[in-house]
Structure 1
Amino acid sequence: MDKFVEVFPDQATLIQRALEIVLEKVKAAIAERGQCTIALAGGNTPKPLYEQMATQDLPWRGIHVFWGDERYVPPDHPDSNQGMARRAWLDRVPIPPINIHPMPTDVAEPIEAANKHEAELQEFFQLQPGEFPAFDIILLGMGDDGHTASLFPHTEALQVHDRLITVGNKDGQPRLTFTVPLINHARAVIFIAAGAGKRHALDHIFAPSADATTYPARLIQPEGELWWLLDQTAGQDLKS
């Protein structure tokens, strides 16, 4: 694993750097493999990045978009990660609809939806049973509690190692989420985190030892590159 930690004076500069890295990796993936697979994060922090992506002139037919997690709400719900990304980015560019691969939230039981999306990923990546895909880019945020995707502290989802997709849980509300091993098979994982509220969790995530079930972002150790892009208020006291 190659690890990179960069701290920026403000969120705008952080987003500009994230844009540079994403664009570089999108273009490299298409040049090398003919397509780029990117999984998006939810939350407010990456929204400006998606708005910037909407202004780019890219080979959209070669880009396939997924999500690292999703709240169990319809896509037109204000809390939908898919809905946010569509409004900020995907609805504003000529990307083929078939290239957009949202997590299904229209199935009665979340576990059935997880199974359905796992089957979709297996088909798209042409996986054999037990294999994991290598996403070109997985974007992640981090909560003040150290969670990432919908991998929350001390939840069963952290222990799932034989699946691509599982059901996360936030205060009794189900969510769909990539599993830890799926994320860790990525070619590049990019964390984008801002705000003083992240400092406590970051201290534990970057510490030589800490409980990863309490700070789940510690579990993310990809086979490829690991990027931490932080603003000054989040990363000013960080000892990487």
Structure 2
Amino acid sequence: MTLPPGAEIAGGLADDGRPPPDVVVEPDADVLARAVASALVARLAAAQAVHGTASVVLTGGGIGIALLEHVAALAAEPARERVDWTAVDVWWGDERFVPADSDDRNEKAARRALLDAVGVPPERVHAMPPSDGEFAEPEDAAAWYAEQLAAAAPAGAAVPRFDVLILGMGPEGHTASIFPESPAAHDDRPAFAVRGCPKPPPTRVSLGFSAINTAEEVWMVVAGEEKAPAVAMALSGSAGPVQLPAAGVHGTRATRWLLDSAAAGKLPGRG
């Protein structure tokens, strides 16, 4: 099943008036990455047709970088739908507070996988600061990033328009760098520092729910059997955002859970 770009979500509205999540399951992680890449190209092209520009928020991790590699491959195919990459703003949902040349940097992986290949202009790549840059403390780096978000936002808003915000999820249900039962799960700022993450590197900068949930579309891209219990819990509605942060994210227009069959293994009817 491939993801239909811009498709309306079926199933009525949730109790809070938002559309319920759209769940798409692909056979394996590679097929999932290719399907999401194709959908992302179509969604960004559609946004440019309406606004003249497009905006995407990237994630890291194996599946997150794999889909960017597939986007780069699509960009090299002349018969494919085209995105004007000079008119795409790129943001990040979170970043490891490590030196700029560290392989742990989501920015470094994204540049290698896609951004350098397609020629996104430097001024449109809104990277979170590294630890060896202008800011020695992650709190200062986060405050600067919040300022960048506000500077790009329309009047009265704290963040710019995000057409698509892509997230991954850890086995325990963390997303961006918001971990279960952590201070970040209670933080209402658009961006903040995160210290003491249970998954290394321990120091990071992350968007918060207040920024993530302004996106038109939030795409949760998840692969792997070890994540199946958290996927099932998040989609069942049985856990809140403090207990399971991935359950607390949503788009204003659409929320899509894009899974491989292993990650979907504990959903009803798939046992």
Tell me what 1:229 maps to.
258
Instruction: Tell me, in whole angstroms, the C-alpha distance in 2 between the residues paired with 1:226 and 1:34.
Output: 23
1:64 aligns with 2:93: no
- SS of the equivalent of 1:45 reads helix
- SS of the equivalent of 1:102 reads coil
CA RMSD of the aligned region, Å? Answer: 1.7
TM-score (norm: length of structure 2) = 0.83
Contact map agreement 2:174 2:244 (CA 8 A) in 1: yes
1:180 aligns with 2:180: no
- Map 1:1-240; keep pairs closer than 5 Å: 1-2=18-19, 3-55=21-73, 56=75, 57-105=82-130, 106=133, 107-128=135-156, 131-161=158-188, 163-169=189-195, 170-171=197-198, 173-239=202-268
Tell me what 2:6 maps to.
none
Give the counterpart letter for 1:35 in structure 2: T
Contact map agreement 2:26 2:261 (CA 8 A) in 1: yes
Instruction: Tell me, in whole angstroms, the C-alpha distance in 1 between the residues paired with 2:40 and 2:68.
Output: 11
Give the counterpart letter for 2:100 in structure 1: P
- SS of the equivalent of 2:232 reads helix
The structure with more strand, counted as a fraction of residues: 1
Contact map agreement 1:155 1:168 (CA 8 A) in 2: no
Instruction: Tell me, in whole angstroms, the C-alpha distance in 2 between the residues paired with 1:44 and 1:127.
Output: 36
Tell me what 2:12 maps to.
none
Residue 116 to residue 127, structure 1, CA distance change in 2 (3 Å): farther
The range that moved more, 143-152 or 54-63, is 54-63
Contact map agreement 1:141 1:192 (CA 8 A) in 2: yes
Q: Deviations over 1:35-71 (max 9, x none)?
A: 1110100111122211122231521111111110000
Give the counterpart letter for 1:118 in structure 2: A
Give the counterpart letter for 1:150 in structure 2: S
Matched-pair identity in % = 34
Instruction: Tell me, in whole angstroms, the C-alpha distance in 1 between the residues paired with 2:250 and 2:115.
Output: 29
- SS of the equivalent of 1:117 reads helix
Contact map agreement 1:7 1:236 (CA 8 A) in 2: no
TM-score (norm: length of structure 1) = 0.93
Higher relative contact order (CA 8 A, sep 6+): 1
Contact map agreement 2:176 2:207 (CA 8 A) in 1: yes
Gaps of 5+ in 2: 1-17, 76-81
Contact map agreement 2:95 2:106 (CA 8 A) in 1: yes
Q: CA offset at residue 127 of structure 1?
A: 4.2
The range that moved more, 34-43 or 117-126, is 117-126
Q: Deviations over 1:167-207 (max 9, x none)?
A: 12313822100110111110011111101000111121122
Q: How many residues align?
A: 238
Instruction: Tell me, in whole angstroms, the C-alpha distance in 2 between the residues paired with 1:151 and 1:62.
Output: 30
